[in-house]
Structure formats: structure tokens, C-alpha cells
């Protein structure tokens, strides 16, 4: 199972859009996903285990 809330995957998507390998839509999608992750973590919803439950 791929962890969908890991920032490195989103950053790679944004970088590939920045250098022209993908359209600007993918940059916006990566940015909005990073914002979603940040808001979750600031709100107290930390990282999740593979089965979907919160860690810690």
C-alpha cells in the first residue's frame, strides 16, 4: 500500500510540473495535497498506520 499522505511524493509531482514535464494542473494538485496534509497535521490528525488508524 502506498502512503498517500507523504510530502515527498507531492513535492516530486510539483517539481516535475515546474520543469515542464507535466501541466500546471499537476502543480496545483500537488500544492493542494500538501496543504491538505499540513492542515491535517496542524489540526492534530497526525500520521496514520497502514490500516488507516492514527499512530501514537
Render pLDDT for 1-56 as a digit per residue (tens, 0 to 9).
455 667 788 888 889 999 999 899 989 988 998 898 888 888 877 777 777 677 76
Q: What is the pLDDT of residue 43?
A: 86
- Domain assignment present for residue 30? The answer is yes
Could you give the number of structural domains in the chain?
Answer: 1
- Domain assignment present for residue 22? The answer is yes
Q: What is the pLDDT of residue 12?
A: 86
Q: What is the pLDDT of residue 13?
A: 84
Q: Where are any strands of DSSP class E within the chain?
A: none
Grid coordinates of 5: 499522505
- Domain assignment present for residue 33? The answer is yes
- Domain assignment present for residue 39? The answer is yes
Q: What is the pLDDT of residue 28?
A: 92
- Domain assignment present for residue 24? The answer is yes
Q: What is the pLDDT of residue 1?
A: 45
Domain of 41?
Answer: 18-48
Task: Note the pTM of the prediction, 2 decimals.
Answer: 0.66
Q: Which of 51, 28, 55, 27 is nearest to 41 (CA)?
A: 55
Angle value at C-alpha 29, between 52 and 27, nearest 5 degrees: 135
Contact 19, 26 (CB under 8 A): no
Amino acid at each position: 500500500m502506498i502512503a498517500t499522505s507523504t510530502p515527498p511524493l507531492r513535492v516530486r509531482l510539483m517539481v516535475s510540473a515546474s520543469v515542464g514535464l507535466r501541466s500546471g494542473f499537476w502543480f496545483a494538485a500537488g500544492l493542494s495535497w500538501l496543504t491538505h496534509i499540513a492542515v491535517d497535521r496542524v489540526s492534530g490528525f497526525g500520521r496514520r498506520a497502514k490500516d488507516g488508524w492514527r499512530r501514537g
